[in-house]
Structure 1
Amino acid sequence: MNTGTFGPMPHGVTDALVRAYRWIGSKGPYHPEVRDRLGLEYQGAREVVAHLLGVAPQEVTLTRNVSEGINLIAGGFDWEAGDEVILTDQEHESGFLPWLHLARTKGLRIKILALTTSHREILSGLETLFTPRTRLLALSHVTCTTGLRLPVREICQISHKRGIPVLLDGAQAVGQFPVQLKEIGCDFYAACGHKWLLGPMGVGMLYIHTAYLPRLKLPQIGWGSHEVFDWETLEYTLKNSAERYEYGTRALPLYAALRKGIEYVAAWDLEKITGYVTRLASYTKDRLLQIPGIHVHSPLDPATSTGLVTFSSEDIPGEELLARLWSRWKVLGRPVKKPHGVRISLAFFTQEAEVETLLYGIEQIIAERRKDHGI
Structure 2
Amino acid sequence: MAHVDNVRRHFAAVRTSTYLNTGTFGALPDVAMERMQQVVEIQFREGRLNGYFSQLAGVRDQVREQIAYLLHAPVSSIALTDSTTNGINIVVWGMLWHKGDEIVYTDIEHQGGMVPLFVQKQRQGVILKRVEVSRNPDETITRLRAALSPRTRLVVCSHISYETGQRLPVEQIAQVAHEAGALCLVDGAQGAGAEWFDVTASRVDFYSLPGQKWLCGPDGVGALYVHPDAMAHVELTYAGSASLRREHPHVQNGYLLPDESARRYEDTFVALTNWVGWLESLRFIRVQVGWDYAFSRIHGLSGTLLDQLLDVPGAEVVTPRDSRAGIVSFRLKDVPSERIVSDAHERGILIRSIPHRNLVRVSTGFYNAEDDISRLLNVIKRS
Q: Same fold (TM over 0.5)?
A: yes
- Asked whether 1:140 is paired with 2:161, we answer no
Q: How far did 1:86 drift? A: 0.9
Of 169, 176, 182, the match for 2:200: 182
Of 36, 44, 59, the match for 1:41: 59
- Asked whether 1:283 is paired with 2:304, we answer yes
Of 109, 122, 139, the match for 1:104: 122
Match of residue 285 from structure 2:
265
The within-5 A match list for 1:1-375 is 1-32=20-51, 34-227=52-245, 228=248, 230=250, 233-267=253-287, 268-301=289-322, 304-327=323-346, 329-365=347-383
Q: Deviations over 1:231-263 (max 9, x none)?
A: 663432212121122223411221111111112
Q: How far did 1:230 drift? A: 5.0
Q: How far did 1:229 drift? A: 5.5
CA distance, structure 2, for counterparts of residue 139 and residue 343 of structure 1: 20
> What are the ranges of 5 or more consecutive residues in structure 1 without an aligned counterpart?
366-375
> What are the ranges of 5 or more consecutive residues in structure 2 without an aligned counterpart?
1-19
Evaluate the alpha carbon distance shift between residue 253 and residue 98 of structure 1 in structure 2; reply closer, same or farther with a 3 A threshold.
Answer: same
Q: How many residues align?
A: 361
Q: Deviations over 1:61-107 (max 9, x none)?
A: 10000010000001011111111111111011011111111111111
Look up the SS of the partner of 2:139 in the other structure: helix
Match of residue 9 from structure 2:
none
Counterpart contact for 2:193–2:295, Cα < 8 Å: no
Q: What one-letter code is carried by the residue in structure 1 that aligns with 2:208?
A: A
Evaluate the alpha carbon distance shift between residue 223 and residue 230 of structure 1 in structure 2; reply closer, same or farther with a 3 A threshold.
Answer: closer
CA distance, structure 1, for counterparts of residue 198 and residue 252 of structure 2: 45
Counterpart contact for 1:311–1:342, Cα < 8 Å: yes
Evaluate the alpha carbon distance shift between residue 317 and residue 135 of structure 1 in structure 2; reply closer, same or farther with a 3 A threshold.
Answer: same
Q: What one-letter code is carried by the residue in structure 2 that aligns with 1:160?
A: H
Q: What one-letter code is carried by the residue in structure 2 that aligns with 1:216?
A: V
Q: How far did 1:277 drift? A: 2.6
Identity %: 30
Counterpart contact for 1:86–1:113, Cα < 8 Å: yes
Look up the SS of the partner of 2:60 in the other structure: helix
CA distance, structure 2, for counterparts of residue 100 and residue 41 of structure 1: 35
Q: Deviations over 1:179-207 (max 9, x none)?
A: 21101111111001100011101100001
Q: Deviations over 1:290-345 (max 9, x none)?
A: 222221111122xx111101111123211111111111x21111111353211010
CA distance, structure 2, for counterparts of residue 158 and residue 60 of structure 1: 24
Counterpart contact for 1:176–1:270, Cα < 8 Å: no
Counterpart contact for 1:175–1:265, Cα < 8 Å: no
Q: What one-letter code is carried by the residue in structure 2 that aligns with 1:311?
A: F
Runs of 4+ in 1 over 4 A off after TM superposition: 229-232
